[in-house]
Amino acid sequence: MNTDRCAVLILAAGSSSRMGRPKQLLPWGSQTLLQNAVNNANASRCDEAVVVLGANADIIRNSLQPGTVSVVNTDWENGMGSSIARGMQFLSKKETPFEVVLIMLGDQPFIDADYLNNVRSTFQGSQKNIVATDYGNRAGVPALFGSKYFEQLSELNSEYGAKELLAENMADIHLLKAGVKTADIDTEADYSRLNHLNT
């Protein structure tokens, strides 16, 4: 399946309630956790990266490198689905349309440009309209969606999010294994453990 323009949505709107401080701002190497995700998205073969912010949007936006494109989901408390919808609505207003959208999280620091490129190249060689990451019992992000799903993505909400969309369309998904790269940071213990692996 040939693709042309690819956008990356980086979801970073949560309040980090289990962390107790904005995890987007946690130091990760010489940068923040969120900037690490942005840098990996920018280093991939996709054409544009957009960060979806929500809680603590102003302070987090100010931490991002100049030139980073961001949009704020004022309904961030309604969950990840609402952030995807906000990002898709933002992309739909772009003068030059995108044919595929790759959705990733800001708190999976080992998801690198190589993996994102693997997702995209797999899509290009597949007859499926979604390439998603295999979590064993479910499909998850990073996930790349063809334009067939853009309308549904732009309508996601707290009742029907990406998890439900993926679960209902398993026959149209090519699954990729990412192994330890899917590790995410939700707590101080997660951060300590993964940051140790990064040094």
Q: Torsion angle of alpha carbons 27, 11, 101, 96, nearest 10°?
A: -90
Domain tally, the chain: 1
**Helix H or strand E encompassing 140:** strand 139-146
| Residue range of the domain that includes 121 | 6-198
Residue 17 lies in a domain: yes
> Per the confidence metrics, is the pTM higher than 0.75?
yes
Q: Which segment, 16-20, 96-100, 101-105, is predicted with the most confidence on average? A: 101-105
From the list 72, 66, 84, 65, the residue with the least C-alpha distance to 11 is 84
Distance of alpha carbon 69 from alpha carbon 40, whole angstroms: 14
State pLDDT tens for residues 154-187: 999 998 999 999 999 999 999 999 999 999 999 9
Query: Which residue pairs from 39-42 have beta carbons closer than 8 angstroms and sit at least 24 positions apart in sequence?
Result: 40/111, 40/112, 40/113, 40/116, 41/8, 41/10, 41/102, 41/104, 41/113, 41/116
Backbone angles phi, psi at 162, to 5 degrees: -60, -35
Residue 181 lies in a domain: yes
pLDDT at residue number 1: 47
Is the confidence at residue 41, as pLDDT, over 80?
yes
Distance of alpha carbon 14 from alpha carbon 28, whole angstroms: 18
Mean pLDDT, range 36-65, rounded to an integer: 98
CATH, residue 17: 3.90.550.10
Residue 1 lies in a domain: no
Residue 38 lies in a domain: yes
Percent of residues, the chain, with pLDDT higher than 90: 93
Chain mean pLDDT for the chain: 95
Confidence of residue 198 (pLDDT cuts 50, 70, 90): confident
